Chains A and B, each alone.
Chain A
Amino acid sequence: MNQLGSCREQLLSRAFVGLADTLVTGYDMIDLLDRLVGYSVELLAADAAGIMLVDSLRTLHVVASSHEDADVMELMQLEADQGPCVECFRTQMPVSVPDLADAVGRWPVFVAAVESRGAYRSVHALPLRLRGEAIGAMNLYHRLPGSLPEADLALGQALADVATIGILSERAIRHGEVVTEQLQTALNNRVIIEQAKGVLAQRGNLTMTASFDLLRRYARSRNALLSEVARQVVENDLATDVLAAPAVHSKAAHLQ
């Protein structure tokens, strides 16, 4: 095995162990999906990635993103209405768009929005599903056109499956309603995280991405739930503490 291959293999095993490690009692679904996004970006050399979960009205919402600034998150949220992500969710099948230029007729609004940001040329979407139940989809953006190799897609799907199995089977012995409860709680936790990003951005004069990195780093270094730290930043004055923690590079923060 060459050096590149063995490095990737290490990363791969770290990803699966990392995801499995997150699935302990009382885990934070947003944190799990944030890790999934981080691993996927690294392993599949994506330039951006995001995950959407479905709400009680079957509408998709961005809950994890490799870029926490509005631009990328808005682009992904746009996919709640049209684009590879919502199609992937509806069909529960992967959707590959090797060149977005070829998809203008299919998703005019989405393609125009990507083009206006001038950043990405290809998109791949992988479903979060298990035994016929879809709860969302993961989106991978690349700056260069081209299909992801089959092996990479299979790897991305395997990562997504591990996370989904964890989410769907955690309390599967209990009632079916549990998934709805969990999704609703996760969506609400995402709102709290957004509020906390705002608090930190204002207090520390930071970008939203930097604010999220601080939140994540603070939570992980203390083995605390991301949404609980976020709640305390909003409700109590944990912001001072979080802002006092030294900054780290955002890419590294994903993989801690």
Chain B
Amino acid sequence: MRARVVGSVRMAKLGMVARALLAIARDVDSDYELAEQICEACVLGLDVDGAAISLLTASTSRETMCTTDATAKLLEDLQFTLGEGACMEAAVSGGPVLVPDLHHSIEASRWPIFAAAVMEQSEVGALFAMPLQWGTINLGVLDLYRKAPGSLSDAQLRDAISAANMAALMFLGVRTDPGGGAWLDHSLHGHAEIHQATGMVLVQLGISATDALARMRAYAFVDQRLLSDVAHDVVSRRLCFTPDMV
């Protein structure tokens, strides 16, 4: 009952991009296709010229999943090559990095080589990088750019951040959910126990936080239970994961 009320309240607050993401979610079966649809929704719904998504894989390497145009690709390539930039910073800091005016900002001094290269090789005026992240579970970054300098509006910024949060869940879902069922669990942010259980399961199995959350999601799916219920059992020590479990 309560979940339904919360859901409807949140729906009313969702921006254009977040709503578009909800609509595309279910039948996408590859990460690349998903990234493409998320980037397209951002370009359509926000005041930006291009978007890109790069995912971090198990090691420290990155893989660019989608770029909507040549400039977006250039931005990803430059950061890859130089090892610095707004997107790299977002991945490390875990927070969005917003640069409304690349030519006149103190942020750019944190990545001088990247900023200089972007100014020299493109007409990019504004950069917005949103991490795809849950705590220490960092999946990658959603990069947005605009030629004309200027901030995103408050509503657009909220929309972009919500979209990044949902995108993080979607990538997690695509990777871990065998059937693509009700994997878009809006409540993930609100449930401390899910994060606590992630920490407990990573110790139980000796795996990373990303894998621990994936194992809980898979277990919940097979057992036809909510992730939050499985997490509650872990935290109250009624459920302990062992390597031979699904």
Contact = CB atoms under 8 A, between A and B. Distances in A.
Given A56-B158, A191-B134, A177 B100 contact: yes
A70 B10 contact: no
B198 interface: yes
B11 to A, nearest CB: 10
B196 interface: yes
Contacts, number: 133
Given A70-B192, A199-B202, A109 B162 contact: no
B106 interface: yes
Interface stretch (A6-14, A73-81, A123-131, A142-150): A73-81
Given A175-B98, A198-B197, A234-B202, A184 B161 contact: yes
B95 A234 contact: no
A196 B96 contact: no
B194 to A, nearest CB: 8
Contacts of B165: 56
Contacts of A188: 94-95, 131, 133-135
A201 B196 contact: yes
A55 interface: yes
Interface in A178-234: 180-182, 184-185, 187-189, 191-192, 194-203, 208, 231, 234
A165 to B, nearest CB: 21
Nearest to B194: A194
Interface stretch (A35-43, A58-66, A97-105, A153-161): A58-66
B5 to A, nearest CB: 7
Q: Which bracket fits the contact residues of A?
A: 35 or more
A115 interface: no
B204 interface: yes
Contact of B2 (A81, A175, A187): A81
B245 interface: no
B203 A203 contact: yes
B16 interface: no
B200 A202 contact: yes
B192 A194 contact: yes
Q: Which size class do B's interface residues fall under?
A: 35 or more
Given A56-B157, A176-B151, A199-B203, A77 B96 contact: no
Contacts of B143: none
Contacts of B196: 70, 194-195, 197-198, 201, 208
B158 A181 contact: no
Contacts of A174: 106
Contact of B96 (A70, A181, A203): A181
B48 interface: no
Contacts of A196: 199
B195 interface: yes
Given A177-B100, A197-B199, A182 B95 contact: yes
Interface string B215-241: 000000000000000001001000000
Contact of B190 (A56, A80, A201, A239): A80
Interface of A: 55-59, 61-62, 70, 73-74, 77, 80-81, 109, 174-177, 180-182, 184-185, 187-189, 191-192, 194-203, 208, 231, 234-235, 239
Given A70-B192, A73-B192, A201-B199, 12 more contacts: A55-B161, A56-B162, A59-B13, A61-B189, A81-B6, A180-B157, A194-B198, A195-B195, A197-B199, A198-B199, A198-B202, A199-B199
